């Protein structure tokens, strides 16, 4: 970075993909995304416990979407599971992201949630790119860039003997 007042661009400023600022940003993005889901899940747990009845009702009204009858069938036949799994899933996904543990696994479930939200809110009044789609992209970013390795517990877990003996476990971490 340049310290010349006359020409502040005299020296090059580098923002390397593997640099410290990138690591800070990815860790921050992971923690904020985690807080978003953790807060949503804990709020549902506090208000409804494990009987989040809006989940199945939401799926039952998803007629005419790109998923066909799948969401409606899920709402009708898996309502008992969805009532508990929505608040628990959001809470655990958020917790995993905030501490940086099993980030890729948590993010796969985050993608699943956000895909259902995105398709379920299929009015697309603002086009295909809406807040649900942006959430889906955030979770995909967590998967692709293995953000749990940046100031997260996944960086520690990957150094354990278990992961070294079974390197395929790294696909769930990071």
- Is residue 156 within 8 A of residue 150, CB to CB? The reply is no
- pLDDT band of 61, cuts 50, 70, 90: confident
Question: CB atoms < 10 A from the CB of 145, how many?
Answer: 17
In degrees and rounded to multiples of 5, residue 150 shows phi and psi of: -105, 100
Res 163 pLDDT > 80: yes
Which helix (DSSP H) or strand (DSSP E) does residue 66 occupy?
A: none
The Cα-based distances of 160 to 139, 153, 165 in angstroms read 25, 11, 9
- Mean pLDDT across the stretch 18-40? 93
Give pLDDT, residue 27: 96
* CA 151 – CA 143 distance, rounded (Å): 15
Percentage, residues of the chain above pLDDT 90:
52
pLDDT confidence tier of residue 31, bands split at 50, 70 and 90: very high
What per-residue confidence (pLDDT) applies to 14?
60
- Residue 2 pLDDT > 50: no
Residue 1 has pLDDT above 50, yes or no: no
pLDDT at residue 10, as a whole number: 58
Task: Report yes or no: 75 and 117 within 8 Å, Cβ to Cβ.
Answer: no
What pLDDT is stored for residue 8 in this prediction?
A: 58
pLDDT at 39 over 60: yes
H helices present in the chain, as ranges? 20-48, 54-60, 70-77, 79-99, 103-120, 131-144, 153-157, 161-165
**pLDDT at position 81 over 80:** yes
- What pLDDT score does 114 carry? 92
φ, ψ for residue 34, nearest 5 deg: -65, -45
Domain extents for the chain? 20-172
Residue 123, pLDDT above cutoff 90: no
Q: Determine contact, residues 112/130, Cβ cutoff 8 Å.
A: no
pLDDT the model gives residue 43: 95
Query: What is the per-residue pLDDT for 161?
Result: 96
The mean pLDDT of 38-65, rounded to a whole number, is: 87
């Amino acid at each position: 970075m340049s310290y010349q007042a006359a020409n502040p661009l005299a020296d090059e400023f580098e923002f390397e993909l593997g640099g410290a600022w990138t690591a800070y940003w990815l860790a921050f993005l992971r923690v904020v995304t985690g807080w978003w889901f953790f807060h949503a899940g804990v709020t549902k747990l506090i208000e409804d416990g494990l009987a989040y009845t809006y989940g199945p009702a939401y799926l039952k009204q998803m007629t005419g979407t790109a998923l066909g009858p799948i969401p409606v069938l899920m709402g009708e036949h898996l309502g008992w599971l969805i009532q508990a799994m929505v608040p628990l899933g959001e809470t655990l996904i958020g917790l995993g992201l905030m501490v940086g543990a099993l980030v890729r696994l948590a993010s796969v479930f985050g993608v699943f949630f956000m895909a259902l939200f995105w398709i379920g809110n299929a009015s697309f009044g603002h086009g295909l790119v809406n807040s649900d789609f942006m959430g889906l992209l955030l979770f995909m970013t967590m998967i692709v860039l293995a953000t749990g390795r940046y100031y997260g517990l996944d960086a520690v877990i990957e150094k354990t003997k278990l992961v070294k003996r079974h390197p395929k476990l790294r696909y769930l971490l990071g």
